[in-house]
Amino acid sequence: MIPVSEPWFTPEDAARVAACVSSGWVSSTGPAVKQFEAAWAEYIGRRFGIAMSSGTTALQASVAALNLAPGDEVILPTFTIIPCALAAIYNGAVPVLVDSDPKTWCMDVSAIEAKITPRTRAIMPVHIYGHPVDMEPLLAIAAAHNLAVIEDAAEAHGARYRMRNGDWARCGSFGRVSCFSFYANKLIATGEGGMALTDDPDLAARLASLRDLCFIPGERFRHEATGFNFRLTNMQAALGLGQIERTEELLRRKRAMAGLYREELDGLPLQLAAEEPWASSSFWMFGIVLDDSVPFDAAEMARRLRCCEIETRPFFLGMHQQPALLKRGLFAGERYPVAERLARRGLYLPSGLGSSASDFRRVAKAVRGALERA
Ligand SMILES: Cc1ncc(COP(=O)(O)O)c(C=O)c1O
User: What average pLDDT score do residues 127-141 get?
Assistant: 98
User: What average pLDDT score do residues 348-353 get?
Assistant: 97
Average pLDDT in the chain: 97
**Which residue from 155, 285, 315, 351 has its CB within 8 A of the most atoms of ligand 1, so it is best to mutate?**
155
**22, 135: one domain:** yes
Rounded CA separation 356/253 (Å): 9
Q: What per-residue confidence (pLDDT) applies to 374?
A: 67
The residue out of 188, 211, 245 marking a domain boundary is 245
Q: What per-residue confidence (pLDDT) applies to 62?
A: 98
| Ligand 1 atom closest to 56 (CA) | 11
Residue 159 contacts residue 174 (beta carbons within 8 Å): no
287 lines ligand 1 (CB under 6 A): no
Confidence of residue 373 (pLDDT cuts 50, 70, 90): confident
> What residue numbers bound the domain in which 266 lies?
247-372
Secondary structure percentages of the chain, helix, strand, coil, to 5:
40, 15, 45
**367, 257: one domain:** yes
**Which residue from 183, 186, 192, 284 has its CB within 8 A of the most atoms of ligand 1, so it is best to mutate?**
183
pLDDT, tens digit, 9 for 90 and up, residues 287-306: 999 999 999 999 999 999 99
Rounded CA separation 171/153 (Å): 6
Domain at 50, CATH number: 3.40.640.10
Count of the separate structural domains present in the chain: 2
Distance 186 CA to ligand 1 centre (A): 9
The residue out of 227, 245, 263 marking a domain boundary is 245
User: What average pLDDT score do residues 125-143 get?
Assistant: 98
The residue out of 245, 269, 299 marking a domain boundary is 245
**310, 211: one domain:** no
**225, 259: one domain:** no
- Give the residue from 247, 319, 311, 321 showing the smallest Cα distance to 284: 247
120 lines ligand 1 (CB under 6 A): no
